[in-house]
Structure 1
């Protein structure tokens, strides 16, 4: 499991709030249980700071889940001692905006990453040349140094997630438009499609193509990524991430996550099967 403090602190905070609400307790009730203040409970539940070990144990017992104490304490210990892999990029807000840091932590921690992409190949699969073309196309005024830094971050992300000792399962559904749009040049696009084919040969990676002929579909509202936590995170549905021009949006309410999962399932059913999808990608690469 990743030791990303950002992701682990966020999960602990959110889960403490959910457990309290599920137990029908108020923040005042929780504060009384630990002989603390309502303000402190608020800090715990938004991730502003983590509870002390004894406070955490007391809260979990008060919420009726004493069997989860050891697990939460181990997460707390990892969060305190861990280091986010992107720490070297942290000082550069242009390369790594604040809103994206949580996603990187969640992605590194995820046991399963599922995505729907409409316009471009997902960042996790991009070559450096393709990434450069995407970055320059989106913000042509960026200085060379900033472009280079963003590419470096994207390549580091590829290594940290896909090349780690126990990589997550990755299932990407791509609109045919993302494969046919020539980004950069024909040579850049061919190399990108070839990398996509190589990655799809891995046992933990599935790639599907949603063809133009599929007509209207539930993914018309835009790209999104569904992140699933490891099995130890008992009963948690995970989180959904969607990105706009100016910020990232996180959905962690169970009903919201469930709706996105249902949408993704429908897209997977409508798309070509993985083997047929790879044949489509091979033909497109050959045509280039």
Structure 2
């Protein structure tokens, strides 16, 4: 088997699940399990590390050995098939709009059932208005490019559409530092529209919006921004971090637990949802 290109997020989730099955059920070493299937142990190793994607037949064979319930087995088979067959809406854009590092995030967000987002300086992308997004993109570009501004706005709107899905909306819990609400992004009218939009979206039952007030001072993880993505199927969440021109996932369990605990702590320190809505309304009244 030849090595494939960089494994997708879905393929890594399948690999992580196969590894978890073997360890949680004390099924033995790679050699032990591979021997039962008359496979070379290197084959199973490739499946568990996503060096080579496991197909439905291999997943079913492993699930049978491990005694995995049919429902869980079928979920992983479905995930493996989708990893090969579903290119994702972001594939319609060029590398200037969707750089390589962002592809992984978009794929993961599309699979997630819930997103927890801490933002220190910006309005969360899933809650940005078109005008706010346009102003940010224009500020980041070295040279004017209105086509790129339009493409990035459209991409963001496609992501946001999951919040409005009539049957299975993405759940969002955003904690935003008050300084993000005070930034003059795009001017007075743009910020007025953005603040109104936040109050409106926060009324939806699957969206929780909290504000970290400036009077709080330093808090755990002060200045950090990150995303925690949950899959709702018992799979380990992923943490996504981003800097000026790159982004990456943290997938080891101790780090995920640390970020999860941090989010819980800042959520406890932030204003509750009603007080947050009042704070946003006050800023809207006083500064726009």
TM norm. shorter chain > 0.5: yes
Which residue is equivalent to 2:179?
Answer: 177
Unaligned runs of 5+ in 1: none
Q: Note closer, same or farther for the CA distance 1:97–1:28 as it changes in structure 2 (3 Å cut).
A: farther
Which residue is equivalent to 1:266?
Answer: 265
Which residue is equivalent to 2:154?
Answer: 152
Taking the aligned partners of 1:139 and 1:19, their CA distance within structure 2 comes to 46
CA contact (8 A) 2:55 2:77 kept: no
**Structure 1 vs Structure 2 CA RMSD:** 2.3
| 1:87 is aligned to 2:88 | no
Which residue is equivalent to 1:190?
Answer: 192
Which residue is equivalent to 1:237?
Answer: 236
Question: Which TM-score applies when normalising by structure 1?
Answer: 0.87
Taking the aligned partners of 2:278 and 2:140, their CA distance within structure 1 comes to 30
Which residue is equivalent to 2:38?
Answer: 35
- 1:45-73 CA distance string (max 9 Å, x none): 34344223232122234445355433322
Aligned length: 278
Single out whichever of 242-251 and 200-209 deviates more from structure 2.
Answer: 242-251
| 1:134 is aligned to 2:133 | no
- 1:191-230 CA distance string (max 9 Å, x none): 1111111111111111110011112111225101111112
Taking the aligned partners of 1:190 and 1:103, their CA distance within structure 2 comes to 29
CA contact (8 A) 1:27 1:38 kept: yes
SS in 2 for 1:86: helix
CA contact (8 A) 1:240 1:260 kept: yes
| 1:70 is aligned to 2:80 | no
Single out whichever of 163-172 and 67-76 deviates more from structure 2.
Answer: 67-76
Taking the aligned partners of 2:110 and 2:56, their CA distance within structure 1 comes to 25
| 1:47 is aligned to 2:50 | yes
